[in-house]
Chain A
Amino acid sequence: EVQLVESGGGLVQPGGSLRISCAASGFSFGSYSMDWVRQAPGKGLEWVSYISGSTNIKYYADSVKGRFTISRDNAKNSLYLEINRLRDDDTAVYYCARDRASGCSGGSCYGWNFDLWGRGTRVTVSS
């Protein structure tokens, strides 16, 4: 079955650290770029970070730059997010998502989309 399963969330004190993981199965993991997207309680979706499939290109949202580190192990079909210096506003459900090209036609291409999502792992920052 094609799926993503996040783990590692929990309750952490402000200033603390956590590593969350995403296990992929049912597809060629190393062939896809992957992202983390989070959702604070009662709020909308916020993109957090991106990592390419095999070239180690990484991007971060300004709100997490310098505190979060994305990584992957293609041999283990796993994606990770190291979260440091946690703040109250990092409290959220963190989803991993597969990044798929939207395709091209007639010389025009159509960007990217998140075609596969995990169920999320909850990170709560509180003292």
Chain B
Amino acid sequence: DIQMTQSPSSLSASVGDRVTITCRASQSITTYLNWYQQRPGRAPKLLIYAASRLQSGVPSRFSGSGSGTDFTLTISSLQPEDFATYYCEQTYITPPRMFGQGTKVEVK
């Protein structure tokens, strides 16, 4: 199975900050990489698919980049509603569908 490792596991940031979250795959997954946001008590929500494609309706302050084994989710200017946990997911070799362990973005 392909393992997905996110870093950091948590971070503290303020409104307006630029935030970067990294996801590393245990082998190349080309660009078969998705990012999800999960607010407390809510279902996950798709933000980015195919490494860099913005899901419809998602604000443009979210962006994704990377290919192969290393990927990045960037929030250009953190908003109050962005305090949440973020997960990456690979779909290059399935099953199983593998998620990263999550990165929690907290208020500084």
Contact of B49 among A60, A62, A95, A113 (CB under 8 A): A113
Q: A111: CB under 8 A from chain B?
A: yes
Q: A34-52 vs B: 1/0 string, CB under 8 Å?
A: 0101000000111100100
Interface centre among B46, B51, B53, B101 (most CB of A within 10 A): B46
B25 to chain A, nearest CB (A): 12
Interface centre among A37, A102, A112, A113 (most CB of B within 10 A): A113
Q: Which residues of A contact B99 (CB under 8 A)?
A: 44-47
A47 touches B96 (CB 8 A): yes
A110 touches B36 (CB 8 A): no
Q: How large is the interface on B (under 10, 10 to 19, 20 to 34, 35 or more residues)?
A: 20 to 34
A102 touches B43 (CB 8 A): no
A113 touches B46 (CB 8 A): yes
A120 touches B95 (CB 8 A): no
B49 touches A110 (CB 8 A): yes
**Complex Cα distance A40/B97, Å?**
17
Q: Which residues of B contact A44 (CB under 8 A)?
A: 87, 99-102
A68 to chain B, nearest CB (A): 13
**Complex Cα distance A11/B101, Å?**
27
Q: How many residues of A contact B (CB 8 A)?
A: 25
Q: B50: CB under 8 A from chain A?
A: yes
Contact of A118 among B31, B43, B97 (CB under 8 A): B43
Interface centre among A108, A112, A118, A120 (most CB of B within 10 A): A112
Q: A51-92 vs B: 1/0 string, CB under 8 Å?
A: 000000001111000000000000000000000000000000
Contact of A102 among B49, B87, B96, B98 (CB under 8 A): B49
For chain B residues 31-48, which have a beta carbon within 8 Å of chain A?
Answer: 31-34, 36, 38, 42-46
For chain B residues 18-75, which have a beta carbon within 8 Å of chain A?
Answer: 30-34, 36, 38, 42-46, 49-51, 53, 55
Query: 10 tightest CB-CB pairs across the interface, nearest first?
Result: A111-B91, A110-B50, A111-B32, A47-B97, A59-B95, A113-B49, A117-B43, A45-B99, A102-B50, A112-B91
